[in-house]
Structure formats: structure tokens, C-alpha cells
Amino acid sequence: MSVRIPRPPARGARTAVLLLSGGLDSGTCLALATRWRWRVHALSFDYGQRHGVELAAARRLAERFGALSHRVIPLPGLGALGGSALTDRAISVPKSALGEVPIPVTYVPARNTIFLAFALAAAEVTGATEIVIGANALDYSGYPDCRPEFLRAFERVARLGTKAGVEGRRLSIRAPLLAKTKADIAALSLALALAPGDTISCYDPGADGAPCGACDACLLRAKGFQEAAQR
């Protein structure tokens, strides 16, 4: 198994705000940014999601990879808005439904827009020029706010809507996993010495924090690691 580790998208010592959920994608981004020697401010959100165990994983990851800071933003209002199986307990998480519907019911309305908006605020305050998000090709298939054209549009918002942008500090949105399959990401995570047990991606973990093994996220992840192992 040979894996090409992506080169930094920008030269020099960069400061980044990195969206860190504790899942495989954002964990791999953190390992990658650290490899690039970027100074990372990690940002997580507590939005009433079922998978609070992810936040514990995020904390461990931020510490292990030496993030400059790790902030958990409480977003009780996002869960209260409703409309997603991830935040609304009246909607059940579908099992083995991979690819069945155009937009999964686990889609949280405008989630990435909200997360990126807070990352932007954090970039203003910390002086970061980079915002790193683990959006990838598979998310792209179902979630509108993981598409490359969405991320480009948000980059324009970031450059126009901030003091930093007006004063000439150019902000960039980096999605280093965007063109990667889950197998690519699994392989990359292993190449960066990120153990599978360091991250959790389950939508519906048990009371003990163990992944359910049956939701979309568990299925995609297992398939990714399986394919990566066969390379």
C-alpha cells in the first residue's frame, strides 16, 4: 500500500482554523495540517448531536497533534431548529440506507455554512489565513454544503465579509480531502499514523461510545478501511 501524502496548498508557516469533529475526515485533516507544520486552532461544536463521544475524540486528537488551541462552541440553537436525524430525536437514523436518497435525512440544515461562519470569526480573532474543513467527495454526493462550488462561494464570503479580507489578509478555505474517496482517506490516515481507534464517525453510537456498525457513516468508514487494506 503506497500513499501519496498531499503537499501543502500554500507556502510558508501558516496559521489555520480547523473544523474538528473527531471523525475520520477531520482527524485526517488535522494529521495532515500538522505534517505541513501549520499552526492549528481546532474548533468543534456541541450542537445537541447524538454523538457527544465525537467531542471526546476531538479533544484527544487536538492534544495529541499539538493544536495551539481547541475551542468547543456550544450551539444549542442548531439542535432546536430541528429538521435532521442527527439532532432531532423524533427522526430515526436510517440503517443500511447507503445511497438510497438524494439528500440523506442526516443532513443538518446549513450546518457547514454555520461551522464555516464560526471558523471565520475564529480566523479573524486568531489571525489565521487558512480554514480547513474535511469535506470530501463522498459527502459531495449527498450533502449540498460539501460541494466544491459551495466551498468556493464561501471563500468569497470570507474574503468580502471580514476585516481581515478588507485589510488585505487573504483568507482561504482548504478542503484537502475533497477529491478523495473514503478508501483514499482511510489509507491517508494510516500513512499519517492516525490509528482507526483515534477517531469515531458513527451517527448513532451506543451508550458506551461504541460505533453502531450499521449507519451510513459506519458503513462508509468500514468499506473505506477494507478497500484501503486491499491496495
CA distance 222 to 202: 11
Choose the binding region for a second copy from 27-35, 158-166, 183-191, 206-214 (rule: CB under 8 A).
158-166
Q: Which of 21, 26, 49, 112 binds a second copy (CB under 8 A)?
A: 112
Determine, following the binding rule CB under 8 A, whether residue 6 of this chain makes contact with a second copy: no
CA distance 82 to 94: 17
Q: Which of 35, 147, 169, 223 binds a second copy (CB under 8 A)?
A: 147
Q: Which of 10, 91, 157, 178 binds a second copy (CB under 8 A)?
A: 157
Nearest residue (CB) to a second copy, 74 versus 206: 74
Choose the binding region for a second copy from 58-66, 160-168, 175-183, 204-212 (rule: CB under 8 A).
160-168
- How deeply is 4 buried, as exposed, middle or buried, from its count of CB atoms within 10 A (0-12, 13-18, 19+)? exposed
CA distance 194 to 90: 35
Determine, following the binding rule CB under 8 A, whether residue 201 of this chain makes contact with a second copy: no
Nearest residue (CB) to a second copy, 153 versus 210: 153
Q: Residues binding a second copy: what is the number (CB under 8 A)?
A: 46
The grid cell for 11 is: 507556502
Tell me the torsion sign for CA atoms 75, 81, 84, 87: positive
Tell the smallest beta-carbon distance from residue 79 to a second copy (Å): 11
Determine, following the binding rule CB under 8 A, whether residue 127 of this chain makes contact with a second copy: no
Determine, following the binding rule CB under 8 A, whether residue 149 of this chain makes contact with a second copy: yes
Count of alpha carbons within 13 angstroms of residue 116, beta-carbon side: 29
Determine, following the binding rule CB under 8 A, whether residue 169 of this chain makes contact with a second copy: no
* CB-CB contact of 206 with 84 (8 Å): no
* CB-CB contact of 14 with 129 (8 Å): yes
Which of 224, 226, 203, 207 is closest to 215 using CA atoms?
Answer: 203
Q: Which residues within the stretch 77-106 sit at the binding site for a second copy (CB under 8 A)?
A: 77-78, 80-83, 102-103
φ, ψ of residue 18 in degrees (nearest 5): -120, 125
Cell 470569526 sits on residue: 121
Binding site for a second copy (CB under 8 A): 71, 73-78, 80-83, 102-103, 107-114, 116-118, 120-122, 124-125, 144-145, 147, 149-150, 153-154, 156-158, 160-163, 165-167
